[in-house]
Chains A and B, each alone.
Chain A
């Protein structure tokens, strides 16, 4: 099967970027024996039980599982919104959460892109994107806005600058949110089913945009979805979770080279990976349905 590499983008300092990409060895997450119980030990809900897997640096890891299985709990624990009950999560060499410190602090090294979008509706697009560096004091307002405009232009979104999030389409909003995150040079990008609410046509465009962004930045991506095809299309690594309490059921390395584009979807290798994994996902889906998981 043949596919064309995605169109390359000429950014001002290509050489420097390339160097940075080769050196990107940070942003690896190690999840070890994580347990999360909501409520008491006896009567509570086990969302995550003895969950262990790795998220390699500079790669896209996609977690697939039925709704309500606990994958968002994992993401929230990494991001620092929730605590864990036991186990450890490491980011590179430092401990995010573990014994003695069950909840991480949220921070700009792990930025979340939310399911229903969380661009601040009361700020314009460019103000949103510039928010991180301004608020951290890393850049002056003027410089931050300039950089923000540059980043938006890179993604082809510059004519939306002065609009408010309420005025543009959800697809655009997702892309702006990713730009807002990348402004801060995070080690990890945490995406919580970001394209769930979009129709499949917009979704496919979003996927390509995400891959393009990844090519430019090589940031570690931790992506949650319930859509298996999306997972295989995007990911270097696909982790299939069981229903609640969640735990990795099957881990697959997707060996289709990046950069990828939509022609991958009909490639033979893609179908083979789908074959390997669809049974596992379907089993868990049935179990979840029987258990009557409510959509959150």
Chain B
């Protein structure tokens, strides 16, 4: 579990920790910049960046050749890379959408807003729920079966019910996204609490802490790494569900954009939508990861040193 966790926590870039953390002095900051530079140089000297280029070249090459040059049977109907890129970067796009058109950013903003609201709600409800489920066996006995009964139903199966239950077109979509993230967050938080070494809890009691204090001083900080792993998963799951919701109902948003450009046979725009989704999704995940590394300095440093027990 620990290794999987550190795998999720990703590369710890100690150099990215902001300088405002209490234990960092000016000399330490200078040292960190140097180490970033050093690591960058090291990376450039290794074969890795060049292999990466080879990979992308192969991929783009494959796409380009099959669609635009050889015009293979099924492939020829797809938009090719040049079509997509010229459209994306053109100040006067054929189908009306490129990085120069404000509509593009509206779609991105709408999708991002929905994901953020859903994530906020999911974290605000899921984390406390998960903490209590892990902390109190009684609570878990009552609540967990109902939770587990509802969980196998994929959030996307809720689409029609969500439309029935909630008025308007925004709420059902946010609800769907919320559901998916909620399950992930709650489960990971609960798992986090249950994974805390019992010695920490016992030590706290020995030192005179009461039950409530143990909860705040041991359980909550101890579960944090798992909570953040859960958050990263839940961000991914949120985008996943959002797209489905947007494709089925609603206006604006990247999912809606993809679906509409498909029905209106504006294929390059469709691919632009897909690529944008990928970028925004990746950035939000990375954002959560960096936030986690910042809030949990102790974990970042522990992982960086590879501490022995």
**Band of interface residues on A:** 20 to 34
Interface residues of A in 108-155 (CB under 8 A from B): 108, 110-112, 114, 116-118, 120-124, 131-132, 135-136
Residue in B23, B200, B202, B208 whose beta carbon sits within 8 Å of that of A79 in the complex: B202
Inter-chain contact A122/B207, CB cutoff 8 Å: no
A184 proximal to B (CB < 8 A): yes
Q: Are B23 and A166 in contact (CB under 8 A)?
A: no
Contact of A164 among B202, B208, B222, B297 (CB under 8 A): B297
Q: Does A26 contact B (CB under 8 A)?
A: no
List the B residue with the shortest CB-CB distance to A166. Answer: B302
Smallest CB separation, B166 vs chain A (Å):
39
State A124–B302 Cα separation when bound (angstroms).
Answer: 12
Could you tell me which residues of chain A, from 148 to 171, have a CB within 8 Å of some CB in chain B? Answer: 162-167, 169-170
B23 touches A162 (CB 8 A): yes
Which residue of B is nearest A105, CB measured?
B205
* C-alpha spacing A110/B206, complex, angstroms: 7
Enumerate B197-251 residues with CB–CB distance to A below 8 Å: 197, 199-200, 202-210, 213, 217-218, 221-222, 224
Is B47 on the interface with A (CB-CB < 8 A)? no
Q: How large is the interface on B (under 10, 10 to 19, 20 to 34, 35 or more residues)?
A: 20 to 34
Report which residue of A79, A111, A122, A184 has the largest number of chain B beta carbons within 10 angstroms of its beta carbon. A122
Instruction: Write out the residue numbers on chain B whose beta carbons fall within 8 Å of the beta carbon of A136.
Output: 207-209
Residue B307 lies at the interface, judged by CB distance under 8 Å to chain A:
yes
A180 within 8 A of B: yes
Interchain CB contact under 8 A, A106 and B206: yes
A197 interface residue per 8 A CB criterion: yes
Taking a contact as CB atoms closer than 8 A, the residue among A81, A108, A121, A197 that contacts B207 in the complex is A108
CB pair B199–A116 under 8 Å, yes or no, is yes
A122-B296, A164-B302 as given contacts; A114 in contact with B207, CB under 8 Å: no
A10 close to chain B: CB less than 8 A? no
Query: Chain B at the A interface: mostly helix, strand, loop or mixed?
Result: helix
A-B contact count (CB 8 A): 94
What is the CA–CA distance of A196 and B209 in the complex, to the nearest angstrom? 27
Which residue of B is nearest A192, CB measured?
B199
Known pairs A108-B208, A135-B208, A167-B302; A118 contacts B217 (CB<8 A)? no
> Contacts A164-B297, A167-B307, A180-B207 known; A122 to B222 CB distance under 8 Å?
yes
Check if B221 sits within 8 Å of A106, measured CB to CB. no
Answer whether residue A107 sits at the interface, using C-beta atoms and an 8 A cutoff.
Answer: yes
Residue of B203, B206, B213, B221 with most partner-chain A CB within 10 A: B206
Find out whether the CB atom of A197 lies under 8 angstroms from the CB atom of B309.
yes
Are B298 and A107 in contact, with the CB atoms below 8 A?
no
Q: In the bound complex, do residue B197 and residue A118 qualify as a contact, i.e. CB atoms below 8 Å apart?
A: yes
B293 to chain A, nearest CB (A): 14
Contact A166 B301 (CB under 8 A): yes
Q: Which residues of B contact A124 (CB under 8 A)?
A: 23
CA–CA, A121 to B199, complex, Å? 12
Say whether B307 contacts A166, CB under 8 Å: yes
Q: Which residues of A contact B197 (CB under 8 A)?
A: 116, 118
B145 interfacial contact with A, CB 8 Å:
no
Q: Does B298 lie within 8 Å of A164, measured CB to CB?
A: yes
Cβ of B229 to closest chain A Cβ, rounded Å:
16
Q: A106-B205, A120-B218, A135-B208 are in contact. List 12 more A-B contacts (CB 8 A).
A: A79-B202, A106-B206, A111-B206, A112-B206, A117-B309, A118-B197, A122-B296, A131-B209, A163-B23, A166-B298, A167-B305, A184-B208
Ordered by A's residue number, 14 sampled pairs between the chains whose C-beta atoms are within 8 Å are: A111-B206, A111-B207, A112-B202, A117-B199, A118-B199, A118-B203, A120-B200, A122-B221, A135-B207, A162-B22, A164-B298, A164-B301, A167-B307, A197-B309
